[in-house]
């Protein structure tokens, strides 16, 4: 249960709490939990470091709030893609994943750091989203191992593109974040997913 230990009577009439949340997201995405500094977050938000404790109860609690918000956002996107028609589920999921990562590079970095740090929130995330996805996957595609492996590859292909962006710049010969490169990548990823969909016919 991620909850801030801040006093109940804060009202945040000037949007400071929101600004700290944004600043914390940027700082933690850039430097991670351990190397991120509350003084730097305060500077980004235009307040003193003491405000982090006032509104959130501490550095760790702010981090938890930031991560849990990011996870919720990703979860909402994936859930929306899962809902609706059964046909075209795989490409819809791939597109949703791809779009989330390309639109929110900050959250991508933040969540990757959380995975690398082996934060317990990762295991919670696994239980909350990945397990149900697996169940959905099985009833749609069956428990065939090759289909599972392909799904994993698809996932890695989508995430890896953004993770290894600096290396891929040299490999692809263009900036991976340029509109053209993004569009080409999106097309390819959706085609891969469609292939997975059809493989099961």
Partner DNA sequence: ATACGTTCTAAATGAACGTTTAGATCCGCT
Partner DNA sequence: AGCGGATCTAAACGTTCATTTAGAACGTAT
Question: For binding to DNA (CB under 7 A), which residues are involved?
Answer: 9-14, 16, 36-40, 46-54, 58-60
Would you state the structure tokens that stand for residue 97, as one six-digit string? 């994943």
Output 59 or 185, the one with its CB closest to DNA.
Answer: 59
Q: How far apart are CA 42 and CA 192, in angstroms?
A: 44
By CB under 8 A, the count of residues binding a second copy is 52
182 binds, among a second copy, DNA, none (CB under 5 to 8 A by kind): none
Q: How far apart are CA 12 and CA 102, in angstroms?
A: 31
Taking CB under 8 A as the binding criterion, the range among 6-14, 42-50, 77-85, 121-129 that sits at the site for a second copy is: 121-129
Would you state the structure tokens that stand for residue 186, as one six-digit string? 């999106």
What's the min distance (Å) between Cβ of 69 and DNA? 18
12 binds, among DNA, a second copy, none (CB under 5 to 8 A by kind): DNA
For the four alpha carbons of 165, 169, 172 and 175, in that order, the dihedral sign comes to positive
Binding mask 70-109 for a second copy (x = CB under 8 A): ---------------------------------------x
Q: How far apart are CA 63 and CA 44, in angstroms?
A: 15
Helix or strand or coil: residue 127?
helix
Output 6 or 41, the one with its CB closest to a second copy.
Answer: 41
Taking CB under 8 A as the binding criterion, the range among 19-27, 55-63, 74-82, 122-130 that sits at the site for a second copy is: 122-130
Residue 84's CB: how many other CB atoms inside 10 A? Answer: 10
158 binds, among a second copy, DNA, none (CB under 5 to 8 A by kind): a second copy
Q: How far apart are CA 185 and CA 101, in angstroms?
A: 12
Q: Which of residues 22-41 bind a second copy (CB under 8 A)?
A: 31-35
CA angle 78, 121, 20 (to 5 degrees): 85
Counting beta carbons within 10 angstroms of the beta carbon of residue 20, is it exposed (0 to 12), middle (13 to 18) or buried (19 or more)? buried
Q: How far apart are CA 110 and CA 74, in angstroms?
A: 12
Sites of contact with a second copy (CB under 8 A)? 31-35, 109, 112-113, 115-116, 118, 122-123, 125-127, 130-131, 133-134, 137, 145-146, 148-161, 163-164, 166-173, 184-185, 188-189, 192
């Amino acid at each position: 249960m991620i909850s801030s230990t801040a006093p109940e009577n804060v009202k945040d009439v000037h949007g400071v709490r929101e600004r700290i949340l944004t600043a914390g997201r940027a700082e933690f995405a850039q430097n991670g939990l351990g190397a991120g500094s509350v003084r730097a977050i305060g500077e980004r938000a235009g307040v003193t470091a003491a405000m982090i404790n006032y509104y959130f109860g501490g550095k760790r609690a702010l981090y938890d709030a930031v991560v849990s918000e990011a996870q919720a956002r990703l979860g909402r996107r994936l859930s929306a893609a899962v809902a609706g028609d059964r046909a075209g589920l795989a490409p819809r999921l791939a597109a949703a994943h791809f779009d989330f990562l390309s639109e929110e590079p900050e959250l991508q970095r933040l969540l990757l750091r959380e995975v690398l740090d082996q934060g317990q929130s990762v295991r919670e995330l696994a239980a909350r989203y990945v397990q149900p996805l697996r169940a959905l996957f099985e009833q749609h595609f069956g428990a065939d191992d090759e289909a599972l492996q392909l799904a994993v590859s698809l996932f890695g292909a989508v995430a890896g593109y953004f993770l290894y962006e600096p290396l891929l710049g040299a490999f692809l010969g263009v900036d991976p974040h340029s509109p053209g490169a993004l569009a080409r990548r999106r097309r390819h990823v959706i085609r891969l997913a469609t292939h997975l969909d059809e493989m099961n016919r």
